Amino acid sequence: MKISVVGAGYVGLVSAACFAEIGHDVICVDNDSDKIRRLSAGEIPIHEEHLPLLLERHLGQRLNFSSDLGEAVRFCEAIFICVGTPPSPNGEADLSYVEGVAREIAHLLNGPKVIVEKSTVPVGTCEAVSRTLLLSGVSPMDFSVASNPEFLREGTAVSDFLFPDRILLGVPDQRSHSIMTQIYAPILNGSYYLSPDAIKGSTCTSTKLIISSVKSAELIKHASNAFLALKISFINAVSIVCERVGADVRQVSEGLGADSRIGPRFLNPGIGYGGSCFPKDVLAFRSVARSVGYDFNLLTEVIAINETQKSLFIAKIRNALWTLRGKKLAVLGMAFKGGTDDVRDSPALDIILSLRAQGAEVRAFDPAAMKRAAALLPEGTATFTPDAYSACTGADALIVLTEWPEFANLDFARVRKLLRFPIVLDGRNLLNAQAVRDAGLTYFGIGGDIEQPLSPLNQFEDIFDPVHVLYEQAPPQVVNTETQLA
């Protein structure tokens, strides 16, 4: 099938490459002509596993790049809109990029096409795209607007796309139903996986096809991201309680996640969610609810807990180091999560900015995100180092802010020798606390396993102490928090 993809960002580029990989002919369009020039020359602007291989396989054959939307529209049977939907100052999704593309397509249509909205958008957006085309004089016989939200995760985007646990099609009519199921047939019927060259990288072998109304599909995407953010904020709130009563959130997460109704994923506490999706999608979903007269206060709380996590971690750093002015801090991780170079809305950057504002000298390393971080952070915020060990050299403490697997495998005996003080603060509960301690370092994680702070200024002292005293005297089998704290 002939497919066009508008927007060559994280979603558009991965979608275009994966559609080519499963056998379709694809043109990917972007209005950033420099990006298109680089892509056409085989240069990949984002860090994503398997993407270089897919471009090597298909560039100039089944996959081509262009700045000419007209060419892409004329070429295809289905056109996927994958442009950004950033937050407006009031939290609503800014749909101007989607609207811009819809208007352009309206003037370029040359016959019946399925227009597929893949960007994450508020419910009702596909209806608005249809209205835009109709108002521009396009015949309703010449287009259908379907919703096909994308669930890929940056860092594992290619394997998520090719091995999805679900494909969601919000289809308004038979024509779009037929075209959309043909597009995804190699994944749905498993024929792609039979190819000896198929990308490996996921254990998911059965993909669930969900056919819904267009509005339901739009809502499923927002509700999914809001629910995942909620799960993260929930375990983060639980981690605060764990610290204050002397429990270990890792054990609590394991026990909680073993319930098949809850599941173990997204139950790892840390410095909070970030990235280009969760923060904006939670805000946008809350705005959708408000616009129809419902105050989705639960989401307000999800956002508040997420913000609190950053302040609590900064307080933890201060507790460990006493004052920050003049301290040299080795910071590992700037991307909003491991496996990606994306630093949009990264909690790591917020923390770096705060440490710097409090007078610390930040020596930072990230395996993929340093270039993007350098472009976003004001000059002089951090010194970027060539590797993790260089960041540690002469530093007063090591701080982990992104869950890159290589950070977990550092040689901590070497780290111990490089640091001025033996302090490790792990904002992602990534490291093996015991291995860190065995190397002679003091480990501070999130949600328990608490070390005595080196500083006399323990900001949580008044909260921790009564509980710790109780626990030291007689560790209870079953903790009734209210009674213990009373």
Ligand X SMILES: NC(=O)c1ccc[n+]([C@@H]2O[C@H](COP(=O)([O-])OP(=O)(O)OC[C@H]3O[C@@H](n4cnc5c(N)ncnc54)[C@H](O)[C@@H]3O)[C@@H](O)[C@H]2O)c1
**Pick the catalytic residue: 28, 82, 242, 277?**
277
Residue of closest CB approach to ligand X: 9
Q: Which residues contact residue 142 at a Cβ distance below 8 angstroms, ignoring those fewer than 6 apart? A: 109, 111, 112, 113
Q: What is the DSSP letter of 46?
A: S
Query: By CB under 6 A, how many residues form the interface with ligand X?
Result: 26
Count Cβ atoms below 10 Å from residue 429 Cβ, excluding itself: 20
Decide if residue 120 touches ligand X (CB under 6 A): yes
Under DSSP, is residue 39 helix (H, G, I), strand (E, B) or coil? helix
C-beta closer to ligand X: residue 336 or 444: 336
Strands 423-426 and 2-6: unpaired
Q: Is 277 a catalytic residue?
A: yes
C-beta closer to ligand X: residue 207 or 308: 207
CB of 70 vs ligand X, minimal distance in Å: 12
Sign of the Cα torsion 261, 228, 429, 485 reads negative
CB of 97 vs ligand X, minimal distance in Å: 4
> For residues 100-119, which are near ligand X according to CB under 6 A?
100-101, 119
CB of 458 vs ligand X, minimal distance in Å: 39
Decide if residue 226 touches ligand X (CB under 6 A): no
C-beta closer to ligand X: residue 31 or 308: 31
Q: DSSP assignment of 239-287, as one string?
A: HHHHHHHT--HHHHHHHHHTSTTT-STT---SS---TTTHHHHHHHHHH
The CA distance from 263 to 228, in Å, is 12
C-beta closer to ligand X: residue 21 or 150: 150
CB of 284 vs ligand X, minimal distance in Å: 9
Q: DSSP assignment of 205-246, as one string?
A: --PEEEEE-HHHHHHHHHHHHHHHHHHHHHHHHHHHHHHHHT
Q: Kindly give the residue spans of alpha helices, DSSP state H, lying in 112-197.
A: 125-135, 157-162, 174-183, 185-188, 191-194
Q: Using CB under 6 A as the criterion, what x/- string covers residues 277-296 for binding ligand X? A: x-------------------
> Which residues are registered as beta bridge partners of 80?
5, 116
C-beta closer to ligand X: residue 97 or 464: 97
CB of 96 vs ligand X, minimal distance in Å: 9
C-beta closer to ligand X: residue 121 or 399: 121
CB of 16 vs ligand X, minimal distance in Å: 11
Which residue from 21, 25, 30, 449 is in contact with ligand X, where contact means CB under 6 A?
Answer: 30
239 φ, ψ (degrees, to nearest 5):
-65, -35
> Which residues are registered as beta bridge partners of 145?
115
> For residues 50-109, which are near ligand X according to CB under 6 A?
82-85, 97, 100-101
202 φ, ψ (degrees, to nearest 5):
-145, 150
- For the packed helices 278-291 and 214-245, what is the interaxial angle rounded to 10 degrees? 120
Instruction: Confirm if 368 and 405 have CB atoms less than 8 A apart.
Output: no
CB of 153 vs ligand X, minimal distance in Å: 6
Instruction: Confirm if 257 and 267 have CB atoms less than 8 A apart.
Output: yes
Half-sphere exposure of 37 (CA within 13 A, CB side): 3
C-beta closer to ligand X: residue 279 or 427: 279
Q: Using CB under 6 A as the criterion, what x/- string covers residues 138-177 for binding ligand X? A: ------------x-x-x-----------------------
C-beta closer to ligand X: residue 275 or 453: 275
CA distances from 362 to 320, 417, 421, 445 (A): 16, 19, 15, 20
> For residues 5-24, which are near ligand X according to CB under 6 A?
6-12
Instruction: Confirm if 127 and 168 have CB atoms less than 8 A apart.
Output: no
Q: Using CB under 6 A as the criterion, what x/- string covers residues 234-273 for binding ligand X? A: ----------------------------------------
Which residue from 16, 26, 29, 235 is in contact with ligand X, where contact means CB under 6 A?
Answer: 29
The CA distance from 313 to 129, in Å, is 43
CB of 35 vs ligand X, minimal distance in Å: 6
C-beta closer to ligand X: residue 35 or 416: 35
User: Which amino acid, one-letter code, is at 342?
Assistant: D
Query: Which is nearest to 217 in space by CA: 144, 288, 122, 296?
Result: 122
Decide if residue 214 touches ligand X (CB under 6 A): no
CB of 8 vs ligand X, minimal distance in Å: 5
- Footprint of ligand X on this chain (CB under 6 A)? 6-12, 29-32, 35, 82-85, 97, 100-101, 119-120, 150, 152, 154, 276-277
Residues annotated as catalytic are 277
